[in-house]
Amino acid sequence: MRPSVHRIFHNIMRYLKLYRVFLFQNLKEDMIYRSNFMTLVIMDIWSVGISVILFKIIYSHVNTIAGWTFDQSLILIGSVGIIREMAYLTFRRGFLELGSHIRTGTFDLFMTRPIAPNLHLAFRHVSLSESFGEAVMGGALVVYGLMRLHHWNWISIFLYVVFLLNSLLIYYGFSLLMNSVVFWVIKSQELNTIVYFFMETSRYPGDIFRGVGKIIFTFIIPIGIIATVPASILTGRIGWGFAVTALIVGSVFLSAGLWVWKRSIGHYSSASG
């Protein structure tokens, strides 16, 4: 059956509705554990604080790194925080739980519901609190960096949001690729450690990579894009060429991720059987 426009629209509305239900359910749970929420926020502020201090120290020895000033780097660090929170609000927790679903056989639940397994897994445990502190710190750093730079406009802010979403899709595609392995090798949920370092290292400007590194960190492990491209757009230091490359990488990673994921869940055999 060919999907009509009407049908696609209907599906999107349906998933948005589902997302809303899941989100409110999870927010309620967050509210119950309020002290846990505070702890997570404090931990985030702590770790972002340390990386700002690190950058400050590095910049006490140099004026720019690959053309990036300290203020511009703050926007970079901040963007990582924002993307992380977006990921926790949409899909990240699900992947962290995937390994145990597969080991215990509870992934059956996802296969038998009339919802796409990847979206069900993603939306089931969305979390506002997990990276909330980093998002608040991130937002503050972006705003602070912008105020110090003076030359921003509404178009660049709009494009910034668009490219943040593109980075979120790269992050999602990358996570799908990494986590698909779990269907083939049961013990591979640890691959999420790689995903963690993937985001940690995105704090550094992508312009530092040269030679083989440039290719690897743009197309294979795109940490040179994730935060660098949105932050470059906001600080007005990017050409159209690289922005378009980022969009292409985004759509390739998302399609590749979905394709591999689909093949991989076909390989799932219930653990309880």
- Binding to another protein (CB under 8 A) within 109-128 occurs at none
If we measure between CA atoms, which residue out of 52, 45, 215, 71 comes closest to residue 37?
Answer: 45
Binding another protein (rule: CB under 8 A), the pick from 9, 33, 184, 197 is 197
Q: Which of 171, 198, 242, 253 binds another protein (CB under 8 A)?
A: 198
**Largest distance between two CA atoms of the chain:** 63
Answer yes or no whether residue 207 interacts with another protein by CB under 8 A: yes
Among 9, 33, 46, 184, binds another protein (CB under 8 A): 46
Q: Considering the complex, what minimum distance in angstroms separates the CB of residue 6 from another protein? A: 45
Question: Residue 75: which of 155, 162, 195, 164 has the closest Cα?
Answer: 164
- Nearer to another protein by C-beta: 73 or 235? 73
Closer CB to another protein, 151 or 210, in the complex? 210
C-alpha–C-alpha distance, residues 264 and 273, integer Å: 18
Q: Are 84 and 135 in contact (CB under 8 A)?
A: yes
Contact status: 194 vs another protein (CB under 8 A):
yes
- Contact window for another protein (CB under 8 A) among 9-17, 81-89, 128-136, 201-209: 201-209
- If binding means CB under 8 A, how many residues of this protein chain bind another protein? 37
In 3D space, the residue among 132, 103, 133, 27 whose CA is nearest the CA of residue 270 turns out to be 103
Nearest by Cα to 270 from 44, 150, 104, 142? 104
* Min CB(60)–another protein separation in Å: 6
* Shortest Cβ 258–another protein spacing (Å): 24
Closer to another protein by Cβ: residue 110 or 228:
228
| CB burial string 226-259: b at 16+ within 10 A, e below | bbbbbbbbbbeebeeebbebbbebbeebbeebbe
Count other Cβ atoms within 10 Å, centred on residue 126. 21
Query: Is position 58 an interface residue for another protein (rule: CB under 8 A)?
Result: yes
9 binds another protein (CB under 8 A): no
Q: Count CB-CB contacts under 10 A for residue 129.
A: 22
Q: Provide the minimum distance between the beta carbon of 89 and another protein in the complex, in angstroms, as a whole number.
A: 22
Please tell me whether residue 5 adopts helix, strand or coil conformation.
helix
Q: Which residues bind another protein (CB under 8 A)?
A: 39, 42-43, 46-47, 50, 53-54, 57-58, 60-62, 64-66, 187-188, 190-191, 193-194, 196-198, 200-201, 204, 207-210, 212-213, 217, 221, 223
